[in-house]
C-alpha cells in the first residue's frame, strides 16, 4: 500500500511540475477571485462518513496559484489547508491540483480520517456567468490519515460566494 501511495504522489507531482513549467501562458483569468463556500462531503475512511464542508480559496493575482482550506464538520472535525496550481479551462472554469496536510484527530474518523497526514486535492471551480457565485467540487486523498492505518478518500462540492 505504501508503494502505491508513493507512486500516486510521484505521478501527481510530475503532472503538477509539467503544468508549472509550461511555456505557453494561460489565455484566460479563470474563476477569477477568491471565495468562501459550503456544501456536503462524503468520506470513505473506515466506512462511509457524511458531513459538511466549509471551503475557502484565496487566489493569488499574478500567478496561477491559490491557497485553499476546507473544514469538515460532522461526527468529527478536520481541517485541510492546501496550496494549488490552477489550470484554466475557459473563462469560467479552472481545474486544479493541490497538496497539503490533513489536520484531524479524535476517535471517530472525519470524512478525511482521524490523524495528521499528507493530502492531495484535485478539483474544479466554475464561476456562474454574470454573478459572484462559484460552484466547486473536489476530492481529497489523505495518505496515512486513518489511525488504524490506511488512506482516506473524500468527495465534496458546493456553492460559494466570490469576494
Min mean pLDDT across 4-18, 25-39, 112-126 is at: 4-18
Q: In this structure, what C-alpha cell is assigned to residue 17?
A: 511540475
- Least confident stretch, 45-49, 78-82, 114-118: 45-49
Range among 6-10, 24-28, 115-119 with highest mean pLDDT value = 115-119
Q: Assess contact for 81 and 97: CB atoms under 8 A.
A: no
User: For the domain bounded by 29-162, which CATH number is listed?
Assistant: 2.40.160.20
CB 40 within 8 A of CB 53: yes
Domain boundaries of the chain, sorted by first residue: 29-162
Whole-number Å distance between alpha carbons of 80 and 20: 23
Radius of gyration of the chain (CA): 16
Higher per-residue pLDDT: 123 or 3: 123
Distance from C-alpha of 55 to C-alpha of 71, rounded to nearest angstrom? 7
CA distance 114 to 42: 15
Amino acid at each position: 500500500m505504501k508503494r502505491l501511495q508513493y507512486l500516486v504522489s510521484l505521478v501527481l507531482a510530475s503532472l503538477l511540475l509539467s503544468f508549472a513549467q509550461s511555456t505557453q501562458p494561460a489565455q484566460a483569468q479563470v474563476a477569477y477571485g477568491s471565495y468562501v463556500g459550503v456544501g456536503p462531503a462524503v468520506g470513505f475512511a473506515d466506512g462511509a462518513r457524511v458531513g459538511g464542508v466549509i471551503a475557502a480559496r484565496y487566489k493569488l493575482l499574478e500567478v496561477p496559484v491559490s491557497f485553499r482550506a476546507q473544514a469538515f464538520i460532522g461526527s468529527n472535525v478536520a481541517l485541510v489547508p492546501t496550496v494549488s496550481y490552477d489550470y484554466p479551462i475557459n473563462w469560467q472554469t479552472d481545474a486544479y491540483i493541490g497538496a497539503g496536510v490533513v489536520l484531524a484527530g479524535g476517535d471517530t474518523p472525519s470524512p478525511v480520517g482521524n490523524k495528521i497526514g499528507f493530502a492531495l486535492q484535485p478539483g474544479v471551480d466554475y464561476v456562474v456567468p454574470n454573478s459572484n457565485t462559484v460552484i466547486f467540487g473536489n476530492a481529497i486523498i489523505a495518505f496515512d490519515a486513518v489511525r488504524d492505518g490506511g488512506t482516506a478518500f473524500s468527495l465534496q462540492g458546493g456553492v460559494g460566494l466570490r469576494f
